[in-house]
């Protein structure tokens, strides 16, 4: 196989985590070696459906997920599982970006193949930590918000780049420092070390979203900041939460005007009804 799009689809379709990780690493290595290239003759992408994933975790509405404190080992396991689920989804999101959107510059495919490789490594670290805590991926329910947004944006690379990395995945930049501090206070240095790696590397992943969102806007003659907030309004309404990790978001390519407007939107959501 020399077609990167077909290889990405094979990773996307793998249902078992171990096989998805194996294929992801092998595909990244083949891409680095020059054995895989985006192929203009590759068949058009199939309409988006659910990616390959195991029967568990059971997917439920986010509001149905119980709130667990971090003071117990079960609560910490639930947190690690939730982050592992995000990383598993992120593997699929990265490969779908490679598979679905054609005719992009070579650097685009390198960025998202590299991102898939990183996310697979993150998932493996979290799965090992879950095992140490007496659990496995699938032991807790999870939600499907990330992939639902992938389905909504499958027709529009600009919307995909704007909303999945820069809104949904960027949320990790905001909440992970608080998780790290709480776990550090509890003495869970093992989970802290994993989350610190993920936080550091996720900045680069959000930056890739910023880079390719702006590329799409420039290609299509769209003003990027106004369009970003139009996308949020059209796809998400006002369902936006703060606060925002300004240093990490600035490092990942956000500009002050965007962060000010995001903070104002979140304040509107948080304001009590009159």
Q: Does residue 81 share a domain with residue 102?
A: yes
Query: What whole-number distance in Å separates Cα of residue 77 and Cα of residue 186?
Result: 13
> Does position 273 have pLDDT exceeding 70, yes or no?
no
Q: Does residue 250 share a domain with residue 149?
A: no
Q: Does residue 217 share a domain with residue 141?
A: no
Measured CA to CA in angstroms, residue 87 lies from 24, 32, 120 at distances of 13, 22, 7
For 46-57, what is the mean pLDDT? 96
Burial class (CB in 10 A: 0-12, 13-18, 19+), 239: exposed
Which alpha helices (DSSP H) does 101-188 contain, by range? 106-132, 145-152, 157-163, 171-185
Q: Does residue 243 share a domain with residue 168?
A: yes
Query: What whole-number distance in Å separates Cα of residue 256 and Cα of residue 63?
Result: 32
Q: Does residue 144 share a domain with residue 26?
A: yes
| Cβ–Cβ under 8 Å, residues 236 and 168 | no
> What percent of the chain has a predicted confidence (pLDDT) above 70?
97
- Decide if 180 is inside a domain: no
Q: Does residue 123 share a domain with residue 22?
A: yes
- Decide if 258 is inside a domain: yes
- Decide if 23 is inside a domain: yes
Query: What whole-number distance in Å separates Cα of residue 203 and Cα of residue 173?
Result: 7
> What percent of the chain has a predicted confidence (pLDDT) above 90?
85
Q: 67-71, 105-109, 152-156: which has the minimum mean pLDDT?
A: 67-71
- Helix 4-13, helix 73-100: angle, nearest 10: 150
- Decide if 109 is inside a domain: yes
**For the whole model, what pTM was predicted?**
0.95
Q: Does residue 167 share a domain with residue 125?
A: no
- Decide if 209 is inside a domain: yes
Q: Does residue 236 share a domain with residue 144?
A: no
Q: Does residue 221 share a domain with residue 163?
A: yes
Q: Does residue 164 share a domain with residue 151?
A: no
Q: Give the pLDDT confidence of 100-120 residue by residue, as tens digits.
A: 999 999 999 999 999 999 999
Residue that is last in its domain, among 103, 127, 155: 155
Name which of 252, 21, 223 is nearest 119 in CA terms: 21
Q: How many domains is the chain partitioned into structurally?
A: 2
Q: State the pLDDT at residue 62.
A: 77
| Cβ–Cβ under 8 Å, residues 60 and 140 | no
Q: Does residue 212 share a domain with residue 82?
A: no
- Decide if 177 is inside a domain: no
Query: What whole-number distance in Å separates Cα of residue 220 and Cα of residue 67?
Result: 43
Q: Does residue 131 share a domain with residue 207?
A: no
Two structure tokens written together for 38: 């985006």
Name which of 120, 101, 97 is nearest 23 in CA terms: 120
Residue that is last in its domain, among 122, 155, 188: 155
Query: What whole-number distance in Å separates Cα of residue 86 and Cα of residue 10?
Result: 20
Contacts of 49 (CB under 8 A, 6+ apart): none
Confidence class for position 71, pLDDT limits 50, 70, 90: confident
For 249-270, what is the mean pLDDT? 92
Report the alpha-carbon angle 126-131-137, nearest 5: 65
Domain range for 259 is 156-172+199-274
Query: What whole-number distance in Å separates Cα of residue 155 and Cα of residue 159?
Result: 8
- Decide if 181 is inside a domain: no
């Amino acid at each position: 196989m020399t077609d990167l799009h077909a290889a990405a689809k094979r990773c996307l379709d793998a249902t078992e985590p171990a096989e998805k990780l194996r294929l992801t690493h092998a595909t990244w290595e083949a891409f680095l070696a020059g054995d895989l290239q985006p192929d203009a003759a590759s068949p058009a992408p199939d309409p988006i459906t659910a990616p390959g994933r195991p029967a568990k975790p059971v997917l439920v509405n986010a509001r149905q997920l119980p709130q667990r404190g971090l003071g117990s080992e079960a609560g910490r396991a639930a947190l690690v599982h939730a982050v592992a689920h995000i990383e598993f989804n992120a593997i699929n999101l990265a490969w779908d970006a490679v598979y679905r959107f054609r005719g992009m510059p070579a650097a685009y495919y390198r960025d998202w193949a590299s991102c898939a490789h990183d996310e697979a490594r993150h998932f493996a670290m979290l799965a090992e930590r879950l095992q140490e805590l007496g659990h496995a991926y699938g032991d807790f329910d999870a939600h499907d918000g990330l992939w639902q947004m992938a389905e909504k944006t499958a027709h529009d690379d600009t919307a995909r780049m704007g909303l999945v990395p820069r809104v949904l995945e960027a949320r990790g930049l905001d909440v992970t420092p608080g998780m790290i501090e709480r776990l550090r206070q509890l003495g869970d240095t093992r989970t802290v070390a994993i989350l610190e790696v993920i936080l550091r590397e996720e900045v680069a992943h959000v930056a890739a979203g910023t880079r390719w969102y702006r590329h799409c806007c420039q290609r299509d003659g769209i003003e990027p900041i106004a369009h970003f907030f139009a996308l949020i309004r059209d796809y998400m309404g006002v369902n936006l939460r703060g606060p925002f990790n300004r240093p990490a978001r600035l490092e990942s390519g956000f500009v002050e005007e965007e962060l000010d407007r995001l903070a104002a939107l979140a304040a509107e959501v948080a304001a009590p009804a009159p």
